[in-house]
Amino acid sequence: MTNATTPRTEDGKRLRFALLNGLNMSNLGRRDKNIYGSIASLQALEDLVTETGDTVGVDVTAFHSNHEGDLVDFLEANSDMDGYIINPGGLWAYGDPTRIALEETGKPFIEVHFANIFATGHVSTFTQSCDVTVMGLRHHGYIGALVALAASVRTPATN
């Protein structure tokens, strides 16, 4: 899809977002359907977000690791993305190195969780730094995050 409403960078290129999934996200499809919904696997989730990105004119690079250092390495090697979407998975409580690496990119990022972790009394370390947190919408939250991030990068706020 290429038209006047397709999100683009200032130099006219397609937007590029990284989709990061952290610890324990590889268990999608085997987790509680009441919380995680009907998504069959992490690959199915990545495909859904990538396909939606293509529909709205955003190139999505998906990356997953159960090791925080791998996520930090990915961010340092890909700090030129236009934005980031992250489900930190099990890093929500102690993922400061990943959060700091996201901050250091200087680019906007959205934190996504399948469940509303706040309802369980948990607080994510990422929430203090991200532009938006999307929770409780299962895999649909990723789509909302992608579309919102594309719209906000394309039309930045003015003060």
Q: Is 94 a catalytic residue?
A: no
Q: Which of 64, 84, 113, 139 is catalytic?
A: 113
Q: Is 142 a catalytic residue?
A: no
Residue 83, both tokens:
């934005």
DSSP state of 54: H
- Whether the Cβ atoms of residue 137 and residue 147 lie closer than 8 Å to each other: no
Q: Which of 36, 64, 84, 142 is catalytic?
A: 36
Which position has the token pair 């529909």?
55
Helix, strand, coil abundance in the chain, percent, nearest 5: 40, 20, 40
Alpha helices per DSSP H over 12-139? 33-36, 42-56, 68-77, 96-105
Catalytic residues: 36, 113
